[in-house]
Amino acid sequence: MKLQQDAKRRLPLDVFDFVEGGSGNELALNRNRRALDKITIQPNLSVPEHAVSLSTQLFGITYSAPIGIAPIGLAGLIHPSADMILAKAAARRNWPFILSCASSSPLSRITKVIGHAPWYQLYAPSIDIPTKSLLSLPLEQGCPVLVLTVDMSAVGRRLRDVRNGFSPARTKRRLILDFLSRPAWAWAQLKAGRITFPNMEHSSPEPATNDWQSQLRIQTGGEFSWDRIQEIRDIWPNRLLLKGVLRADIADEARRIGVDGVIVSNHGGRQLDCVPASIETLPAISNAIGQDCTLLDSGIYGGEDILRAIMHGAKAAFIGRLALRAVAAGGEARLEQLLNTLTEDTVRAFAIAGLRNIKY
């Protein structure tokens, strides 16, 4: 709660609501939290914290914990260096980090700074971009995992954004108000310049000078049909995941055509308001395709949530909104504090529950 309050003090209201809000009446957003809270764990005999290992292998890569940072579009609006801050924090801990194609930092720069290519997320473009062009950037950078977001053919109706008239592009009047109410945030944004999507420009047929709205319209709003997913699978040489899956039959079909796994997600409650909580659909999906192929995001806020996710069939759980709150509240230092606490809480939860590792 303190983190959320501090983020609210540092961000303009419309930007804070962009981070915190969900679609419709925010039933799905709140359903994620309520569903996790309902899950109880029956502990085994507890073990010492030093006996717990969080080491996890995901798709052939060993990570230090079953915790990752989810793709976050427009993170640069919260902090101009948000993508880089998140990537560096994950790399320091050897956690998986998924860079959104709608990030403000070039994939090539992230790769250079952290010393390896992150996982990379793609939306389905609204125009016909050849698959090879769509994949050229992550192929060129050697991303080990490609994540296709399959629940974003349209943007959910986010009523907070509608009420606030939210737009990443600030009018002169709004910028003056930002300086009066949130001077530190406004000054940082002014120094950083306009919002751009350098990774989208890489595959766009439109000139790179186009504004952010044009790039976003081109690179989102399309469909990842089974035929397109199969085409991507045929071209993409590394691991391939679908994000936004809430049904076991879809996960099963994805595995049948060669997709390596899924991220069970309702987009943090930001798309359809009538969908179930991600954790509610997790057991059936994990049973259908196996825990090694099943990841989770949406609603994860602490170590006991990580424990719940693992015990319910996820191999790892990803945080998004929580990480953004920390970056908004205090940049790199506050994020470090959060992730250290999250790690400690996860180890403690495993120890008290009697789990020495994620294989139990």
Catalytic residues: 267
Q: How many CB atoms lie within 10 A of CB 39?
A: 15
**Adjacent-strand bridge partners of 316:** 295
Cβ burial, residue 23 (10 Å; 0-12/13-18/19+): buried
Give the DSSP per-residue string, 210-262: S-HHHHHHHHSB----HHHHHHHHHH--SEEEEEEE--HHHHHHHHHTT--EE
CB-based burial, 210-242: b 16+ in 10 Å, e otherwise: bebeebbebbbbbebeeeebebbbeebebbbbb
Using CA atoms in the order 119, 258, 197, 273, what is the torsion angle rounded to 10 degrees? -100
The token pair at 208 is 């790179």
What lies within 8 Å, CB to CB, of 311 at 6+ separation is 39, 41, 353
Give the N- to C-terminal CA distance of the chain in Å, as an integer.
31
Relative orientation angle of helices 13-20 and 321-353, to the nearest 10 degrees: 40
